[in-house]
Amino acid sequence: MRIPTEPIGSIPRPAELIAAFRDQQAGRIPADAFERIAERALQDTIRRFEDTGSPVITDGEQTKPSFATYPLSGLTNLAPDGVVIPFADGHTRQLPRLKSGPFHYATYASKYLAAAKQLTALPVKQAVISASALSLLYPNSGIPGYARDAFLSDLVDEAVADIRQCLAHGADSVQIDFTEGRLSLKLDPSGGLLQNFVALNNQVLDHFSRPERRRIGVHTCPGGDQDATHSADVDYVGLLPILFRLRVGRFYIQLASENDPERVLKITRQHLQPDQIVFVGVIDPISPAVETPERVCERILLAAKHLPVSQLGTTDDCGFSPFADDTSTSRDTAFEKICARVIGTQMAAQQLAGS
């Protein structure tokens, strides 16, 4: 018996690369010098990922400025005063605001995928940002000469291109980051915003065939940045039934840090379709304690009580460092946790095969 296991994406960046990102933003470093530092970080990340025994890896999002804003790097029609996202510890992140149209991506995720695939023979999955997250760039006040409907049409086209290029470049799977899903219920407890988000993302997914959608997944979590979350206080009950309306073949669900994981598993079982697989989170990236393989195994065996093993996979609750300046977790800790996930998943598979 085999239980698939995959990372979510980001790995803490080396101090040298974090400093280089700061210097890049301030215009203090030549482009070629930044590229050399980024290449060293990427090579080290791929090597260390391979050493974990993980059957599927990512590039650790080493050269992304953040998981959410990578398509925007280089655009000139943005202002810095967009939507503010508050975290439980008091810090915030702020999205840019679109000033004028038309909207387009400056960078596609296939750029990162191609660089990673040159360095490894292992399957590489690629994370992309959701159309719903980028929809927050459009201001409530509107943009003269560029209606919201025109923006959303352009946004869907670009999100489709982002995913399609990753599939065409040989991504093992494409993971849509949808951390704003749970957050939307804090912003709008009625669920209307969440339903709009899901409908928008389904407009993107409808451009893909059923076999293609089996390689496309969605990741949900309460946000993880600097050891804090933005929506862990929002009940999963409101999210999961609507989340499973997304027309994807894979769901990557934060679970290890949930207070009542069994309750989440029961709801998941009610909505899981026969052609879908759920990768349950068995590693908490925010906790400084490194999980033992035995603890990981216990979490998987609990999930197997509620979900068909043939539709069960394992993952991390969230990326370890979704923003380039996050230093809350060390690289060593992140890779130790990934090793525990890989070994613990193998242990659970062996136990389930013998039961």
Task: Tell me, yes or no, whether 196 lies in a domain.
Answer: yes
Q: Are 6 and 125 in contact (CB under 8 A)?
A: yes
CB atoms under 10 Å from CB of 186, counted, come to 15
- Look up residue 32 and give its two tokens: 């070629």
Q: How many residues does the chain have?
A: 355
- Look up residue 206 and give its two tokens: 């409808």
| pLDDT of amino acid 213 | 97
354: Cβ contacts below 8 Å, ≥ 6 apart: none
Task: Tell me, yes or no, whether 154 lies in a domain.
Answer: yes
Helix (H) or strand (E) holding 21: helix 15-26
Task: Tell me, yes or no, whether 300 lies in a domain.
Answer: yes
Residue keyed to tokens 């995959």? 6
Q: Identify the sign of the CA torsion 260, 264, 270, 273.
A: negative
Task: Find the mean pLDDT for residues 39-51.
Answer: 98
| pLDDT of amino acid 107 | 97
282: Cβ contacts below 8 Å, ≥ 6 apart: 255, 256, 291, 296, 299, 300, 314, 315, 316, 341, 344, 345
Q: Is the pLDDT of residue 99 over 80?
A: yes
What CA–CA distances, in Å, run from 110 to 86, 89, 116, 163, 205?
30, 34, 10, 8, 17
DSSP bridge pairs for 344: none
DSSP bridge pairs for 129: 177
152: Cβ contacts below 8 Å, ≥ 6 apart: 135, 138, 200
Task: Tell me, yes or no, whether 6 lies in a domain.
Answer: no
Q: What is the count of structural domains for the chain?
A: 1
- Dihedral angle, C-alpha 45, 214, 240, 222, nearest 10 °: 10
| pLDDT of amino acid 25 | 87
53 Rama class: left (phi>0) / alpha (psi -120 to 50) / beta? left
3 Rama class: left (phi>0) / alpha (psi -120 to 50) / beta? beta
Task: Tell me, yes or no, whether 9 lies in a domain.
Answer: no
Stated pTM of the model: 0.96
Alpha helix ranges (H) inside 219-330: 236-243, 261-271, 293-304
67: domain CATH number is 3.20.20.210
pLDDT in tens, 48-72: 999 999 999 999 999 999 999 999 9
Task: Find the mean pLDDT for residues 215-240.
Answer: 94
pLDDT in tens, 257-285: 999 999 999 999 999 999 999 999 999 99
- Look up residue 94 and give its two tokens: 């702020």
| pLDDT of amino acid 126 | 98
Which residue range is the domain that position 249 belongs to? Answer: 15-354
298: Cβ contacts below 8 Å, ≥ 6 apart: none
- Look up residue 327 and give its two tokens: 């230093």
Task: Tell me, yes or no, whether 3 lies in a domain.
Answer: no
- Look up residue 67 and give its two tokens: 């998981």
Task: Tell me, yes or no, whether 240 lies in a domain.
Answer: yes
d(CA 54, CA 172): 13
What are φ and ψ of residue 343, in 5° steps?
-70, -45
Residue keyed to tokens 């862990």? 232
Q: Is the pLDDT of residue 355 over 80?
A: no
d(CA 17, CA 73): 17
